[in-house]
């Protein structure tokens, strides 16, 4: 708690609360990063689920770089936004679930790619891809609900 308050009352927290354009700009970056990282993750999952089979899953690799750029944008903008009310966000179940879903979704993305490269059975690949997609969607839903459910 001390750490949360220290961060919230520090330079970043003060900036994001007091600067007029600081918050909207960082918030917009968070939306662009989200569209990028989520977009790539969702399209890869769609492909593994059997959509656009003519694309080799490994040809998707290059797009991962783009996805990582989106992730980096959101990690930085997310850490800045978090400073806005760290002591509140940290205890919101929507926030906790969001972070958990993103972590699991990210790991699953790697697991999906490994399963594809290792030529695991199609049903295994599809099951993993569906779980991965679900995690990322839970990440967006809970992220949006953070603004409404403050418990």
Which residues form the interface with other proteins (CB under 8 A)? 21, 23-24, 27-28, 31-32, 34-36, 38-43, 46, 51-56, 59-63, 65-66, 137, 140-141, 143-145, 147-148
Q: What is the nearest approach in angstroms of other proteins to the Cβ of residue 88? A: 18
Q: Collapse the DSSP code of 10 into the 3-class scheme (helix H, G, I; strand E, B; otherwise coil) and give the result.
A: coil
CA dist., res. 139 & res. 141, Å (int) = 6
Q: What is the nearest approach in angstroms of other proteins to the Cβ of residue 1? A: 28
DSSP state of 61: H
Closer to other proteins by Cβ: residue 13 or 143: 143
Closer to other proteins by Cβ: residue 7 or 23: 23
Closer to other proteins by Cβ: residue 127 or 134: 134
Q: What is the nearest approach in angstroms of other proteins to the Cβ of residue 2? A: 32
Q: At 105, list the tokens.
A: 């979704």
CA distance to 7, 91, 94, 110, 133, per residue, from 101 (Å): 24, 16, 10, 14, 10
Is residue 88 within 8 A of residue 13, CB to CB? The reply is: no
């Amino acid at each position: 708690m001390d750490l949360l308050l220290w961060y919230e009352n520090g330079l970043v927290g003060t900036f994001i609360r007091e600067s007029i354009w600081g918050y909207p700009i960082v918030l917009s970056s968070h939306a662009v990063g989200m569209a990028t990282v989520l977009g790539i993750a969702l399209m890869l999952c769609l492909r593994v689920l059997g959509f656009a089979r003519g694309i080799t899953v490994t040809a998707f690799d290059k797009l991962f770089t783009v996805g990582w750029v989106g992730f980096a944008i959101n990690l930085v903008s997310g850490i800045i936004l978090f400073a806005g009310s760290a002591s509140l966000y940290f205890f919101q179940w929507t926030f906790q679930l969001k972070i958990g879903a993103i972590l699991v979704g990210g790991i699953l993305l790697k697991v999906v790619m490994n399963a594809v490269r290792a030529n695991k059975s199609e049903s295994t690949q599809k099951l993993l891809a569906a779980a991965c997609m679900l995690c990322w969607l839970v990440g967006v839903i809970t992220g949006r609900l953070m603004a409404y459910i403050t418990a």
